[in-house]
Structures are given as C-alpha cells and as structure tokens.
Amino acid sequence: MIEIVRAKLHGIRVTDANLNYQGSITLDPELCERVGILPMEFVDIWNKNSGARIQTYVILGDAGSRCCVLNGSAARTCQPGDEIIIAAREFINRSEIYDIKPKVLTFKANNEIDQELFYDVFETPDRAHNFRIMNGAEVVDFRDTARDMAKKSSH
C-alpha cells in the first residue's frame, strides 16, 4: 500500500481563526463535496504564508459561505487572509495509481473557485509513471508554465 493525495483545496484563504473553539477546521460543505472531503476526516494543512504544517479534522460550516476557519490550537498556526493548502490522503494498492484521479480546487482571493483540476498518473512507452495536471481534457501542467517563464526571462 502507498499513501497518496486524494483531494486538495489549493490556495484557499483563512477566513477566521477561533482559538476558543474545539480543535478542527471548519469548511464550506459545498467545497468539501466538490473534492470529496468528508466531515471528521483528517486533513493536512500547509500554510503558504508561514510554512506551518499541521493536521486536524474537518467540520462543516454554512453551505455557500466559502468559510475556512481554523479552530482551537490550529488557530495559532494561521491568520485570517493566510493562503493555505488542505490535502486529504488515502492508502491504495500500487496497482491502483493509474485508476485514481485526485480532485483539486484552486481559489481566487475571495475563496471563489478558480479552477477545478485533477491529477493523472499515466504510462508511456518511455516511462511507467508520468504525471500531469488536468482541467477536463486539457493538460494544465504548471511545471511547463514555470519552464516557459524561465526561458522568456533569460532572453
């Protein structure tokens, strides 16, 4: 068995931090449903502003609120406005790596969904394991974008 990312909310902004609430992260259930994150599921949280990395469980807030509230001790790691990444994990058999398509939502500054993506591992004649980021049938591999930008800036 290997552990993989199953779902991700990438670049969502913290809307509140509530130190005096029982520990957890409160998320908009509509966002959780879109990627398949369940209530009480443990998730990893990576703060892009501070570099803090924590784990806590999900509780659901108000539908449509776009809320992202760190509660209890987790509130010490994130401030309102911080951009974070929330990832859910899953154990799979190695042979299932080609079958899974982890969902990823990216966000605008107001926690409005920017893109709905998925990760894809595929095989080619040259290599057993290739990786790409997909937006429907379109490849949106950010590694290519970064390489293209580096080439342009060197000219």
Active-site annotation, residues: 24, 57
Task: Confirm or deny that 73 is annotated as ligand binding.
Answer: yes
15 is an annotated ligand-binding site residue: no
What's the CA gap between 5 and 100, in Å, rounded?
10
Question: According to the annotation, is 75 in a ligand binding site?
Answer: no
- Using CB atoms within 10 Å of the CB of residue 65, give its burial: 0 to 12 exposed, 13 to 18 middle, 19+ buried: middle
116: number of Cβ within 10 Å? 13
Q: Is 154 annotated as a binding residue?
A: no
CB-CB contact of 75 with 41 (8 Å): no
Pick out the residues of the known binding site for substrate.
56, 72-74
Binding site members: 56, 72-74
